[in-house]
Amino acid sequence: MLLKLCLSKSAKVSFMVLLSCTLASAAADDHAVSSYQPGRVGGRLVVAQRAEPKTLNPVVALEAVSREVISLITASLIDIDQQSFQPVAALAKSWTKSPDGKQLTVQLRHGLRFSDGYPFNADDVAFTFLVHEDESIHSPQRELLIVAGKPIVVTKLDAYTVRFDFAAPYSVGERLLAGIGILPRHLLEKSYQEHRLAQEWGLIAAPERVVGLGPFLLKEYVPGERLVLGKNPYYWKTDAQSVRLPYLDEIVFAFTASENAQVLRFLSGEADLIENLSPENFLALKAEEAHRGFRLFDVGPGLEYTFILFNQNDLGSGNASIQGKQEWFRRRAFRQAISAAVDRDAIVQLVYRGMASPIWAHVTEGNKPWFNDKLPRTPRSLTRARDLLRAEGFSWSSENRLLDPSKHEVSFSILTSAGNSQREKISTLVQDDLKQIGITASIVSLEFRSLTDRILNTYDYEAAVMTLASGDGDPNSEMNIWTLNGSTHLWNLAGKSAEGWEREIDQLMRRQLVSVSFEERRRLYGRVQELVAVNLPIICLASPHVLVGAARRVQNLHPSILRPYALSNADALFLEGPGGGR
């Protein structure tokens, strides 16, 4: 009573908030403890970023930049350990799989709260998966949540237990839960019912509407300039000394127009972190590393792979000129000859300045659990290329021009993305390599959207130099590329009747999906790599290293080859020194 009398109205509100925070803190008995070295609270980390996110809505976000920011605002049931690639507990305290691999039961942490203070429970999990599986929402993750043609069934068993039922045994059910940020049902259910969910959490959304369980929350977005994330006061991780994470007060994504501007900003000390340095800039900065306040990390070959793609789509009655050339592109020996003629070592040395690995299939050395190290590393051989072509009936004119069996000169165009200097350089090297076996290749640099439109929609291209990057090391993340009806089955999107080896790859990928033994999956995926290396649906060339630059004051930094390369443990990053200045 005395207390009630003494408190003014505003003080009462403050008191209630304080009380609820204290209770929340006390109730969060299931908080996770970070394994990173304890650090200092406070400070602002500035990340130099080339592109701006398009949205903060995890349900519709497609591109890597948006997903990176979203990963800091939201949290998943399970995370993938950046070093071991194994699933680790996040919002889920533990999980159990049924012996037949068709059921996964997840225990959630108790007492967790969203960044607006609202409690988290199984309803939020059920709501999140309901939204992702809804066909009308067009979530890019929906494809992964369909097993044996049926969506995963998510059942709330109690407030903190959720069961996932798969239509068929699912090899790595728990991995599916990684990367799907849990949504606040209390805020988004109404929008979902009114079919407005896809429009929620755009960049112009009010910061207090963007709520998650991640270490940070949206504070400010200035188009073309910066996006500022602030600390989530309800975050569910502490360090070993029971200090609530994250340490940083703010993360600022400072947008720059070009990679050069990004590097200059980093060099001047205006930015603390660059996550994707080019090899040229890495080397240029390396010369200054010893006497400047930054460190550079060469994490090794990432999951990204660059390749040559030939158009093998069924064009129907379309472009006769391309159809004529498809006679060559569909010959395995022709693709093998191209592969033999390309100087991968030169690509590694001249384009990536040694900071890449030559590859003969799509799985890179960096993906240690799945990399098939028994694949032959066929060295460049113009003689072998010529022999392969000769055996197929190709010949050479007096001017050393390659002629097909019908005596037509072999020439084609290679599309590349204008402004991407690495892919442009690779195209130039490939062009020169092919000239040595009598093939005239012309390079056509196109604006990126025009390029992807030709490859994915109109099929109006002959060959292209492209890059793909897996989001995860697990083979399941490549299902859309290697299965026959996959949305990124690039070389044959239009549905040409598949060859035997293509069907075998499709079956192997589907078998590994439902196999519960890691060894068996590894064997199956190893065979997929063999088939890719021999049949060359895409001619893999090189896998660049992941290169990161960071101010020395940034501590607990452990860059990895999984995205986000350096911010995966953003909750444990801290800044050293007074004010953290360089």
Query: Which residues in this chain contact other proteins in the complex, by CB under 8 A?
Result: 259-260, 263-264, 278, 280-281, 283-284, 287, 321, 343, 346, 349-350, 353-354, 413, 415, 418-419, 421, 424-425, 427-429, 431-432, 442-447, 450, 460-462
Pair 299, 320: CB distance under 8 Å: no
Considering the complex, what minimum distance in angstroms separates the CB of residue 319 from other proteins? 9
Pair 529, 375: CB distance under 8 Å: yes
Instruction: Indicate the length of the chain as a whole number.
Output: 582
Q: Is the dihedral of CA 180, 183, 185, 190 positive or negative?
A: negative
Q: Which lies closer to other proteins via its Cβ, residue 167 or residue 283? A: 283
User: Max CA-CA distance within the chain?
Assistant: 106
Q: How far apart are CA 556 and CA 273, in angstroms?
A: 13
- How many beta carbons lie within 10 A of that of residue 145, not counting itself? 19
Considering the complex, what minimum distance in angstroms separates the CB of residue 345 from other proteins? 9
Considering the complex, what minimum distance in angstroms separates the CB of residue 431 from other proteins? 7
Q: Which lies closer to other proteins via its Cβ, residue 239 or residue 343? A: 343
Considering the complex, what minimum distance in angstroms separates the CB of residue 409 from other proteins? 13
Beta bridge partners of 297: 548
Nearest alpha-carbon partner for 215 in 181, 265, 173, 261 = 181
Q: Which lies closer to other proteins via its Cβ, residue 217 or residue 434? A: 434
Q: Which lies closer to other proteins via its Cβ, residue 14 or residue 450? A: 450
For residue 400, count CB atoms less than 10 angstroms from its CB and return exposed for 0-12, middle for 13-18, buried for 19 or more: exposed
Considering the complex, what minimum distance in angstroms separates the CB of residue 427 from other proteins? 7
Q: Is the peptide bond before 564 cis (omega within 30 degrees of 0)?
A: yes
Q: Which lies closer to other proteins via its Cβ, residue 115 or residue 357? A: 357
Q: Which two tokens stand for residue 377?
A: 């590393």
Q: Which lies closer to other proteins via its Cβ, residue 460 or residue 499? A: 460
Pair 105, 162: CB distance under 8 Å: yes
Q: Which lies closer to other proteins via its Cβ, residue 406 or residue 497? A: 406
In 146-236, alpha helices (H): 173-176, 185-193
Considering the complex, what minimum distance in angstroms separates the CB of residue 379 from other proteins? 15
Considering the complex, what minimum distance in angstroms separates the CB of residue 429 from other proteins? 7
Q: Which two tokens stand for residue 169?
A: 């045994």
Distance of CA 399 to CAs 334, 381, 395, 435, Å? 20, 21, 11, 12
Considering the complex, what minimum distance in angstroms separates the CB of residue 382 from other proteins? 14
The phi and psi torsions of 524 (rounded to 5 degrees) equal -65, -45
Considering the complex, what minimum distance in angstroms separates the CB of residue 394 from other proteins? 21
Q: Which lies closer to other proteins via its Cβ, residue 79 or residue 462? A: 462
Q: Which lies closer to other proteins via its Cβ, residue 22 or residue 436? A: 436
Distance of CA 404 to CAs 222, 326, 463, 535, Å? 57, 12, 17, 20
Q: How far apart are CA 117 and CA 419, in angstroms?
A: 45
